Amino acid sequence: MVAIQRKTLVRLTWPFVPCMLQNPSGRSAVNIRRLVTMFTKQIRLRKPLVLRTFPLLARYYRLAFQTPATRKKELFVYVPLRKLFPLCRKLGVLPHVGDFDYERSGKTMRINFDARNVQFQALYGRVYEYGYEQELGLLLDYLLPEGGTFFDIGSNWGYFSLYAASNRTKVNIHAFEPFPDTHRDLKSCVEQAGLADVVTRHELALSDTDGEAFIDIPDGIHSGTAELNTSCRGTRIVTRRLDSLKLPPPDFIKMDVEGHEAAVLRGGIETLKAGRPYLVFENKRDYANPAMTLKPLLVLQDLGYRFFLPAVQRSYEGREYFLPCGWQWDLRRMQEIKDPDVLALVPFDVSARFLYQHDLNILACHESRLSELQAEFTPWQSGLTPAVNR
Task: Judge whether residue 388 has pLDDT over 90.
Answer: no
The whole-number average pLDDT for the span 79-83 is 97
Cα separation, 265 vs 257, whole angstroms:
11
Domain boundaries, the chain: 37-55+96-379
Cα separation, 290 vs 179, whole angstroms:
28
37-55+96-379 CATH pick, 3.30.450.20, 3.30.70.1280, 3.30.70.270, 3.40.50.150: 3.40.50.150
Task: For strands 378-379 and 227-229, give the pairing.
Answer: unpaired
Task: Judge whether residue 35 has pLDDT over 60.
Answer: no
Cα separation, 9 vs 292, whole angstroms:
33
Q: What is the pLDDT of residues 212-269, one digit of tens each?
A: 999 999 999 999 999 999 899 999 999 999 999 999 999 999 999 999 999 999 999 9
The whole-number average pLDDT for the span 23-46 is 61
pTM of the model: 0.89
